[in-house]
Amino acid sequence: MAQDTYTEFATTGVGKKLTKALGLPQPAKLRRYRPGAPLIHGPVVLIGSTEASDALARHLLSWGLDVRRHVGPKEQVAAVVAMFDAVSTPADLSETVLAVGGLLKQLKSCARVVTVFRDPAQSQLPAERAARKGVEGLTRSLAHEMRAGGTANGVMLDAGVDVAAPSAAGALRFLLSGRSAFVSGQFITVGSDHGMLPTDWEAPLQGQTAVVTGAARGIGAAIARTLHRDGAQVILVDVPAAGEQLAEVTNEVGGTALQLDITRDDAGERILQHAQQYYGRLDIVVHNAGITRDKLLANMDAARWDSVIAVNIESQLRMNRALLDSELFSRPEGRVGPRIVSLASTSGIAGNRGQSNYAASKAGVIGMVAASSAELQARHGTINAVAPGFIETEMTAKMPFATREVARRLNSLSQGGRPEDVAETVAYLASPAAAGTSGMTLRVCGQNLVGA
């Protein structure tokens, strides 16, 4: 990874003063999840007096949080949860919004604002839909305004889903925690009451088996480490040529290595066979393996185009078919069903010069995930995508200095994310507490301006 010298300087005492005086970006040291550390340091203020918020408050209290309805004018606040679940016309936003606004100057560093509201698309009433859509707009704007590593995100509920449903609580907890350090300006949709909250929040994947493709390095290795930390047994897959590094990561996380080219016709079957042999179960599949073969479309050749499509999306479609047709992966057996998490990219959302092949494959992932959701949900499972923005990896370290420096600052947190940030989101989506969230693409980009 390339060193982010600017952020290191800007987080020193002198650096803070100087960057402020010059009006330069002020990246903060982000609060990241550490097992054993408190979920969040300081009071969490719950705004909005709906009945439903009481149920949500009970969750927060059960997590040992300092939940308040009001705080004193001088008190520091760690997070604000704003309930907009009952708005029926844009005028209804005012009271809660202004209450949130009044607290912004009291926010600690790396604070959180989470809005809770219902899916606009599900309302056919113009005023109600306008109000709900308004929450999206204000949340995104607030994310831009947050300072010192703070983020603002939303939890968007489907019509029939209770505000205190397991996955609504799970999404809220994720957004409050350090796991979502590099997630800002995003919405987590909760489409069903599926899911359950773990008894041990530090090991939500206990007893489960996960497979991670492209696990030898970078984001894939971070995902393997994170899933292992969260209690899962991990099968690490990468191409045979990456076997030496794959063995290192595998031995670090106590997993098993499977050297496999995922573009093989029988890749899905091989993964199933391995999971059956070594663990007798397979709960989570993370499609992380991907390649780039950048070229302007005018200069694109078939080899570059076809290999990117084959590795980044065709292989996933084929493996998913084999996985979903298998007893091992698709059988719910009273527990939470199968979970698939695919790596998309902000390039797949916004497009990127020189990446028509990559963007096509990653946009393809977003489409695949949306279209596969019904099949997974029918088995109490989920399929989601994670779209990383600028992440500090070996790959981005190879970018020209100036390009990299600009790319880092082009988001609301003014810094690049880490592979662990992507991994935390993957682990959250794979957890039983996210069983009600499916078919969506969650960006881990610090609210990158590109494709927002």
Least spacing, CB of residue 270 vs other proteins, in Å:
9
**Across 103-229, where does the E strand assignment appear?**
107-118, 151-157, 187-190, 209-213
Closest by CA to 445, choosing from 130, 112, 180, 50, is 180
Instruction: Count Cβ neighbours within 10 Å for each residue of 377-414 and write b for 16 or more, e otherwise.
Output: beebbbbbbbbbbbbbbeebeeeeeeebbebbbbbbbb
Q: Which is nearer to other proteins, 109 or 276 (CB)?
A: 276
Catalytic status, residue 358: yes
Q: Which is nearer to other proteins, 265 or 301 (CB)?
A: 265
What is the DSSP secondary structure assignment for residue 215, as one 8-state letter? T
Alpha helices in 64-125 (DSSP H): 93-103
What is the DSSP secondary structure assignment for residue 445, as one 8-state letter? S
How far CA 355 is from CA of 219, 252, 442, 443, in Å, comes to 20, 34, 21, 18
Least spacing, CB of residue 254 vs other proteins, in Å:
5
Residue pair 354/403 in contact (Cβ under 8 Å)? The answer is no
How many CA atoms, within 13 angstroms, populate the side-chain half-sphere of residue 337?
A: 23
Q: Which is nearer to other proteins, 224 or 429 (CB)?
A: 224
Report residue 197 CA to chain centroid gap: 18
Closest by CA to 343, choosing from 383, 394, 288, 390, is 288
Which residue out of 6, 33, 358, 428 is catalytically annotated?
Answer: 358
Report residue 243 CA to chain centroid gap: 28
Q: In angstroms, rounded to a whole number, what is the distance separating the alpha carbons of residues 151 and 207?
A: 32
How far CA 237 is from CA of 97, 249, 323, in Å, comes to 47, 11, 15
Q: Which is nearer to other proteins, 82 or 289 (CB)?
A: 289
Question: At 219, which amino acid appears?
Answer: I
Least spacing, CB of residue 328 vs other proteins, in Å:
14
Least spacing, CB of residue 7 vs other proteins, in Å:
33
Least spacing, CB of residue 240 vs other proteins, in Å:
5
Q: Which is nearer to other proteins, 77 or 242 (CB)?
A: 242
Least spacing, CB of residue 412 vs other proteins, in Å:
40
Tokens of 417: 């994310």
Report residue 201 CA to chain centroid gap: 17
Least spacing, CB of residue 250 vs other proteins, in Å:
4
Tokens of 422: 């992507």
- Residues within the interface to other proteins (CB under 8 A): 236, 240-244, 246-248, 250-251, 254-261, 264, 277-280
Q: Is the backbone of residue 110 left (phi > 0), alpha (psi -120 to 50) or beta?
A: left
- Burial of 113 per CB tally in 10 Å (0-12, 13-18, 19+): buried
Q: Which is nearer to other proteins, 201 or 278 (CB)?
A: 278
Q: Which is nearer to other proteins, 88 or 259 (CB)?
A: 259
Q: Which is nearer to other proteins, 236 or 369 (CB)?
A: 236
Q: In angstroms, rounded to a whole number, what is the distance separating the alpha carbons of residues 262 and 286?
A: 12
Least spacing, CB of residue 234 vs other proteins, in Å:
10
Location of structure tokens 């590099």:
182
Q: Active-site positions?
A: 358
